[in-house]
Amino acid sequence: MKKILVTGANGQLGSEIKELAANYPNFDFIFTDIEDFPLDKATEIISNFKVIQPDIVINCAAYTAVDKAENDPETADAINHLAIATLASLCHDSGIKLVHVSTDYVFDGSSPVAYKEEDVPNPKSVYGVTKLAGETACLTNCPESIIIRTAWVYSEFGNNFVKTMLRLMSERESLNVVNDQVGSPTYAADLAEVILTILDSGKWEPGIYHYSNAGEISWFDFASDIKEMAQKSCEIKGIPASSYPTPAERPAYSLLNKSKIKAVYGIGAVDYRVSLERMLKRL
């Protein structure tokens, strides 16, 4: 039985992998989070690794507070970059498979078409810079690893756009939502299924892959769909990003091209509306 170490297990993606674990009885899952597997301390990563001795690592842990990272670059870099360098080295040295999760924020948002894996990254935020550095460290120290870039992650666990919208729609009569940042959301349960499907396939093709749900929408469109499906009466108004300045710059367009993961693993993207409806029902 293969032993899988899941880091960041209390986050959105880690929580969804926990939900699915029972469907994969041929894997023995070890779920860890910051309390028992802190990623900002290299010595603890190494000692924990020796104790657990995994066959596979799924790194779901990340510093994801995008705006906070602008004033806390050291912590963001420690978790999103330096920890990955340590993890990747340990995996490479012991012949352990590593799946690392990254982000659409490695791109600057200037592309007129959906981003492919080989497109040149150009992050605009500390978060994006540290996540790109993590990707580079991962592939440098463990070239045989798999990196999955995803975008706009939400689930019934943790804090995310969908849960924030539901709360605000219950509290307010109207909401302003940015309508000029375009991408596609990702239901963490779908991403968890994708990762476990890859591991269960027995086929290991290293490199970077893109995965999000299917669709091309703005945050305003997403909020409007949430309103409609949750049957809220709150008015949603579209505003430009310039009217809602944030400490970190977001890519204006970060749609991910998912043709590679389909070609290599036969994994298709679920329509975002189908996944959103499923999440709202579970919630």
Q: Does the pTM of the predicted model rise above 0.95?
A: yes
Say which DSSP state 199 is in: H
Any idea what the Cα angle at residue 269 is, between residues 105 and 266, rounded to 5°? 115
Consecutive H or E run containing 210 = strand 207-210
**What residues contact residue 48 under an 8 Å CB cut-off, 6+ apart?**
32, 36, 37
Q: Name the region of 158 (left: φ>0; alpha: ψ -120 to 50; beta: rest).
A: left
User: Which stretches of the chain are DSSP H helices?
Assistant: 12-20, 42-52, 66-69, 73-77, 83-94, 126-141, 161-171, 188-201, 219-230, 259-265, 272-282
Domains and CATH numbers, the chain: 2-160+184-215+254-270 (3.40.50.720)
Structure token digits, residue 131: 């996540």
> CA quadruple 256, 148, 59, 157: dihedral positive or negative?
positive
User: On the CB side of 130, how many CA atoms lie within 13 Å of its CA?
Assistant: 24
Looking at residue 219, its amino acid is W
Phi, psi angle pair for 27, to nearest 5°: -115, 140
Q: Are the CB atoms for 80 and 125 separated by under 8 Å?
A: no
d(CA 246, CA 256) in angstroms, rounded, equals: 23
pLDDT tens profile 114-154 = 999 999 999 999 999 999 999 999 999 999 999 999 999 99
Stretches in the chain below the pLDDT threshold 70: none
d(CA 139, CA 219) in angstroms, rounded, equals: 32
Q: Are the CB atoms for 253 and 193 separated by under 8 Å?
A: no
Among residues 63, 105, 127, 253, the one annotated as catalytic is 127
What pLDDT was estimated at residue 104? 98
d(CA 149, CA 17) in angstroms, rounded, equals: 17
d(CA 90, CA 142) in angstroms, rounded, equals: 9
d(CA 94, CA 53) in angstroms, rounded, equals: 9
| 209 catalytic residue (yes or no) | no
Consecutive H or E run containing 103 = strand 97-103
**Burial class of residue 47 in the structure, from the number of CB atoms within 10 Å of its CB (0-12 exposed, 13-18 middle, 19+ buried):** exposed
What pLDDT was estimated at residue 173? 96
**What residues contact residue 207 under an 8 Å CB cut-off, 6+ apart?**
117, 146, 147
